[in-house]
């Protein structure tokens, strides 16, 4: 007798192909999920690594900003100290000059004449005083003219007082003579 297969082989084959297709789809989906997960993990790791670097750089930048602020503060303090030192050196250097200037003012005073006020503004010296006669004022002017510490003496005014003396005002310019011509 002939062998006849009455089983639904087409449906079975179709079912097997569907199962294979579903298996392949599940396998492809699993592989795609693993690939997507690994790529996402890689980029997340790279992102967190870069954020760590950025945070480190920000902290270093803030530390450097603080150091720069300290350096600027120290530079400002240094410039103020240098300015003070120069001022002190200038004052120390001018100390003998002021003493010598007052000494010269005292030496120039003739008898029967005295100063009532003295003002120094920059290099201008203004003197007010009282003298017994105009000759004493003239002698004072000659003494200032001969002095190496004063130049351009100018008599601004002479006024007679009721007691017979004269009130005068003189203006002149102070100069520092060369140290070679200065007397000890």
| Spans of all domains in the chain | 110-174
Q: What global pTM score does this model have?
A: 0.48
Angle at 129 between CA 126 and CA 134, to 5 degrees: 110
Residue 46, pLDDT score: 96
Residue 1, pLDDT score: 61
Residue 32 token pair: 């795609």
State the chain's maximal CA–CA distance in angstroms.
177
Residue 96, pLDDT score: 74
In angstroms, what CA-CA distances link 153 with 66, 144, 149, 170, 171? 59, 7, 11, 7, 6
Fold designation for 110-174: Alpha-Beta Plaits (3.30.70)
Q: Are 173 and 124 in contact (CB under 8 A)?
A: yes
Instruction: Evaluate the CA torsion angle 126, 132, 136, 137 in order and state its sign.
Output: positive
Residue 180, pLDDT score: 39
Reading the chain (184 residues) residue by residue, the pLDDT tens digits are 677 766 777 888 899 999 999 999 999 999 999 999 999 999 999 999 999 999 999 999 999 999 999 999 999 999 999 999 998 887 777 677 778 888 888 888 888 888 899 888 888 889 999 988 888 888 888 888 888 888 888 888 888 888 888 899 999 988 877 643 444 4
Residue 6, pLDDT score: 67
Strand order from edge to edge, sheet including 150-160? 113-121, 124-131, 166-174, 150-160
């Amino acid at each position: 007798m002939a062998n006849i297969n009455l089983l639904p082989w087409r449906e079975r084959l179709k079912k097997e192909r569907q199962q294979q297709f579903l298996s392949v789809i599940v396998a492809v989906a699993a592989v795609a999920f693993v690939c997507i997960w690994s790529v996402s993990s890689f980029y997340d790791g790279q992102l967190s690594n870069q954020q760590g670097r950025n945070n480190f750089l920000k902290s270093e930048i803030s530390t450097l900003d603080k150091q720069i602020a300290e350096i600027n503060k120290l530079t400002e303090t240094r410039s103020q100290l240098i300015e003070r030192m120069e001022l002190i050196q200038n004052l120390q250097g001018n100390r003998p000059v002021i003493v010598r200037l007052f000494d010269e003012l005292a030496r120039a005073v003739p008898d029967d004449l005295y100063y009532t006020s003295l003002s120094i503004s920059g290099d201008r010296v203004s003197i007010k005083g009282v003298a017994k006669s105009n000759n004493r004022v003239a002698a004072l002017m000659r003494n200032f003219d001969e002095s190496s510490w004063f130049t351009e003496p100018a008599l601004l005014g002479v006024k007679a007082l009721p007691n017979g003396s004269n009130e005068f005002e003189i203006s002149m310019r102070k100069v520092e003579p060369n140290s070679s011509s200065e007397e000890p």
